[in-house]
Amino acid sequence: MNQSTEDTVTVSVGLGERAYDILIGAGLLARAGAEIAARLPGARAAVVTDENVAALHLRPLQEGLGAAGIGSTAITLPPGERSKSFGALEETVDGILGARLERRDFVIALGGGVVGDLAGFAAGIVRRGMNFVQVPTSLLAQVDSSVGGKTGINTGHGKNLIGVFHQPRLVLADTAALGTLPEREFRAGYAEVAKYGLIDRPDFFAWLENNWRDVFSGGTACTEAIARSCRAKAEIVERDERESGERALLNLGHTFGHALEAATGYDSARLVHGEGVAIGMVLAHRFSARVNLASPDDADRVEAHLRAVGLPTRLEHIPGALPDAEALLSYIAQDKKVSRGALTFILTHGIGRSFIAEDVPASEVLAFLRECQTQ
């Protein structure tokens, strides 16, 4: 929250020659053309989006771009995690090249994390790197995926295993766009907001416990929660841009979460990413308590808060049958946070005191998962 103009808050990501601003506030979508033209004069754009978001927000964006003299082409993909695929990547790249964009032109991601990850990857590889602007429209994308430059797609071997680091030149988080976001998606994004408190900001977690209703109703508390989240992520990314260490903390809840997403076949009717993270964070706290790293009271407090906002917190909250503990463990071992066969997890000493635990014995995890499933 470095500066604030009217209701727009700016968070700066300090990455040297790759530094950029995140603007957060209502109405940024329509102003995107002006903000971009000020930074990338004379450039043209390809807007990558999904069908849901296109129907709601593509026109105001393209009109604003046009008013600022920026010609644009839209590339619209089916919504959902399945668009993070080689096929969709090829389609996106082809659309960008077909629009004859050059390296100084730019790619805009208009949508949630799926569109952001896919479009960012495409921007990172077309002509070995084009300018990229994030216009995140889901809460998850505004607080997490649009910040930090991780891009990628999924393969049969697991989530986000293929991609590049490619920082955006600008992030425009229009809080008004969240007005059309389904409640369930807003809640899922909220799991990542809470994550920052649980990683290393206990005060922020306490603030959320007291103010979550205001965050959910939009307005200044919502803008504040987004800005505090972006700042939390930016600080970690500034210290470890390419995840050689500390950045892995952002995966709190994600090792379990990704395994659950894989186990439910990335079927958003059953589980969306943030819901997997919510369950995963509770499991990470429970597991930490089980191996005597943290007090079970902390796990209870995390679960109570996530449950209060309406998030799932246990395996049994996922509709439909789950594979058994052995199968869940094999999804975990497949995940990228595996090193030399030993399991790496983000565990915790308590709320706001998470850490990277290497060499977590698979047998302990298996026993724990068995307990979770028979509760």
Asked if residue 192 belongs to a known ligand binding site, the reply is: yes
The set of residues, in sequence order, having a beta carbon less than 8 Å from that of 130 and lying 6+ positions away, is 96, 101, 103, 105, 106, 107, 123, 124
Tokens representing residue 268 in the block = 């958003």
Cα of first residue to Cα of last residue in the chain, in angstroms, is 43
Q: Measured from the CB of residue 121, what is the shortest distance to a second copy in angstroms?
A: 8
Give yes or no for residue 79 binding ligand NAD (CB under 6 A). Answer: yes
Asked if residue 354 belongs to a known ligand binding site, the reply is: no
Stretch that binds ligand NAD, among 78-86, 87-95, 202-210, 315-323 (CB under 6 A): 78-86
If you search the block for the tokens 């030993």, which residue do you land on? Answer: 342
E strand or H helix at 355: strand 354-360
CA 372/CA 375 separation, integer angstroms: 6
Looking at the Cβ atoms of 269 and 321, the one nearer to ligand NAD is 269
β-pairing verdict for 72-77 and 45-50: parallel
Whether the Cβ atoms of residue 175 and residue 218 lie closer than 8 Å to each other: yes
Query: DSSP assignment of 8-23, as one string?
Result: EEEEEE--GGG-EEEE
DSSP label of 374: T
Whether the Cβ atoms of residue 110 and residue 137 lie closer than 8 Å to each other: yes
Looking at the Cβ atoms of 131 and 151, the one nearer to ligand NAD is 151
Asked if residue 217 belongs to a known ligand binding site, the reply is: no
State which of residues 7, 242, 245, 296 lies at the interface with a second copy (CB under 8 A): 242
Give yes or no for residue 112 binding ligand NAD (CB under 6 A). Answer: yes
Give yes or no for residue 90 binding a second copy (CB under 8 A). Answer: yes
Tokens representing residue 312 in the block = 């799932």
Asked if residue 166 belongs to a known ligand binding site, the reply is: no
CA 36/CA 355 separation, integer angstroms: 38
Q: Which of the choices a second copy, ligand NAD, none does residue 127 contact, using the CB cut-off of 5 to 8 A by kind?
A: a second copy
Q: Which of the choices a second copy, ligand NAD, none does residue 280 contact, using the CB cut-off of 5 to 8 A by kind?
A: none
Stretch that binds ligand NAD, among 270-278, 285-293, 297-305, 325-333 (CB under 6 A): 270-278
CA 274/CA 351 separation, integer angstroms: 19
Residue 104 has φ and ψ, to the nearest 5°, of -85, -10
Q: Measured from the CB of residue 89, what is the shortest distance to a second copy in angstroms?
A: 8
Which x/- pattern over 324-353 shows residues binding a second copy (rule: CB under 8 A)?
A: ------------x-xxx-------------
What residues line the site for ligand NAD (CB under 6 A)? 50, 52-53, 56, 79-81, 84, 111-115, 117, 137-138, 140-141, 144-145, 148, 150, 159-160, 177-178, 180-181, 185, 188, 272-274
What residues line the site for a second copy (CB under 8 A)? 86, 89-90, 93-94, 97-98, 102-104, 124-129, 150, 152, 155-158, 161-165, 242-243, 336, 338-340
> Which residues line the annotated binding site?
113-117, 137-138, 150, 159, 192, 254, 273
